[in-house]
């Protein structure tokens, strides 16, 4: 359909299996909020359904950014809660079958199974988003998922389309049995207007910034060790770590053991990340596993050159020594070398790399472009067939 003011947009239900909006952030939830806020402002009928859980409003119905949010109540009892929640979702989808045309499921797990089962029966277009390497390597899409995983995957195959948020995910899905013509390579979106290029008075001392959950997958022990390695050459450098998670105590112990306490700040959770981005000079994302990090997009939109591991998502956006640096997962010396080079930038080189970072992220993941591609996916328009070539991380 045309994209003019007279367009009758598809009515979209965003399906999440976690708290919404969460009290302490969440990648999928943040992405849904970015999309739904803009979709509502542009005349879409859009809503969100999520479980009624801790760490989110205890309301079965509310509005977030003027978007309706339905939260499903269920008994939070082990072995009973999961099946009860799936039934609650099924009842909700049947009861609201006349309210939506498209179910956009932001998880390739049990909620995706419920939607894939009911969608064809109720005449709904079902789109499943694969948002992380976990689903491909340890979830139902893993080649070693066992008979339960194979059963889940067989049901998921009923979905009309699959959103792959990175090239690596798109290239891997055909090997898991997903027909290439059903795969749409559409990244997470970033609202670049939130992250205008600030006028930084100085880039010295270097101010590294990490934003994310403090969990093993983020590779933070290696970051602290590599940061300690470069401090003798850059004694004024500072690292700010934003976020919460189960590894915080261990990371604080590492900082003490490395003797770098005066150079590292843990802020805990922060919802006002814009000032932190404006004050930083280099973004850091040393993750061992990602799909496509919202933090990566937001740092680059803020004009921060990125030091990032060569994994899914990062390799689609970071161009080595053009708008950042890539290192191999587990390579402490490689990470230290990237941090050292970043801390050695002069102002002109830093400014050029930062502008390149922002240009890259707007071109590939700007909100307008991503939303346009999603609308085409909702409408069932043909998508470019996904390439099965895995990127080498230099493009």
Angle, helix 81-95 to helix 110-122, in steps of 10 degrees:
30
Strands 46-51 and 12-15: parallel
What are the sequence ranges of the domains in the chain?
12-189+367-378, 192-365
pLDDT of 253 reads: 98
Give the whole-angstrom CA distance, residue 179 versus residue 183: 7
Estimate to the nearest angstrom the gap between the alpha carbon of 147 and the chain centroid: 29
| 12-189+367-378: CATH architecture | 3-Layer(aba) Sandwich (3.40)
Overall pTM surpassing 0.75 (yes/no): yes
| 192-365: CATH architecture | 3-Layer(aba) Sandwich (3.40)
pLDDT of 100 reads: 98
- 12-189+367-378 and 192-365: identical CATH topology: yes
Helix (H, G, I), strand (E, B) or coil at 388: coil
pLDDT of 5 reads: 44
Q: What is the pLDDT of residues 356-377, one digit of tens each?
A: 999 999 999 999 999 999 999 9
Q: Which stretches does DSSP call E strand in the chain?
A: 12-15, 46-51, 61-64, 67-72, 102-105, 125-130, 161-164, 183-185, 207-211, 238-242, 264-268, 282-285, 306-309, 324-327
Tokens for 228, please give them: 């300690």
Q: Name the stretches of the chain with pLDDT < 70.
A: 1-7, 385-395
């Amino acid at each position: 359909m045309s994209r003019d003011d007279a367009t009758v947009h598809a009515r979209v239900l965003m399906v999440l299996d976690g708290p919404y909006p969460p009290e302490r952030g969440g990648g999928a939830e943040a992405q849904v909020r970015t999309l739904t806020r803009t979709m509502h402002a542009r005349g879409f009928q859009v809503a969100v359904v999520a479980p009624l859980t801790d760490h989110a409003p205890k309301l079965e119905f509310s509005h977030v950014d003027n978007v309706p949010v339905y939260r499903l109540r269920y008994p939070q009892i082990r072995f009973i809660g999961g099946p009860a929640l799936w039934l609650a979702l099924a009842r909700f989808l049947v009861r609201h079958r006349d309210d939506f045309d498209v179910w956009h499921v932001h998880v390739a797990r049990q909620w995706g199974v419920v939607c894939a089962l009911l969608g064809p029966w109720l005449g709904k277009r079902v789109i499943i988003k694969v948002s992380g390497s976990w689903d491909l390597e340890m979830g139902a899409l893993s080649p070693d998922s066992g008979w339960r995983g194979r059963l889940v995957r067989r049901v998921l195959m009923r979905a009309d389309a699959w959103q792959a948020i990175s090239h690596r995910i798109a290239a891997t899905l055909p090997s898991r049995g997903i027909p290439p013509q059903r795969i749409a390579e559409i990244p997470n979106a970033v609202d670049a207007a939130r992250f205008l290029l600030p006028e930084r008075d100085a880039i010295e001392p270097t101010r590294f910034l990490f934003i994310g959950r403090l969990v093993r997958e983020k590779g933070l022990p290696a970051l602290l060790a590599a940061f300690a390695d470069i401090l003798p050459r850059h004694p004024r450098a500072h690292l700010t770590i934003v976020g919460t998670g189960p590894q915080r105590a261990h990371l604080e112990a590492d900082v003490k053991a490395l003797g770098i306490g005066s150079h590292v700040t843990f802020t805990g959770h922060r919802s006002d990340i814009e000032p932190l981005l404006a004050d930083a000079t280099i973004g850091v994302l040393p993750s061992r596993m990602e799909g496509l990090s919202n933090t990566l997009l937001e740092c680059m939109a803020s004009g921060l050159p990125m030091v990032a591991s060569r994994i899914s998502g990062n390799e689609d956006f970071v161009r080595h020594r053009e708008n950042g640096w890539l290192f191999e997962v587990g390579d402490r010396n490689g990470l230290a070398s990237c941090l050292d080079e970043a801390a050695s930038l002069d102002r002109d080189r830093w400014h050029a790399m930062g502008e390149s970072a922002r240009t890259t992220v707007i071109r590939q993941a700007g909100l307008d472009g991503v939303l346009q591609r999603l609308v085409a996916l909702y409408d069932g328009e043909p998508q470019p067939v996904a390439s099965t070539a895995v990127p080498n991380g230099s493009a």
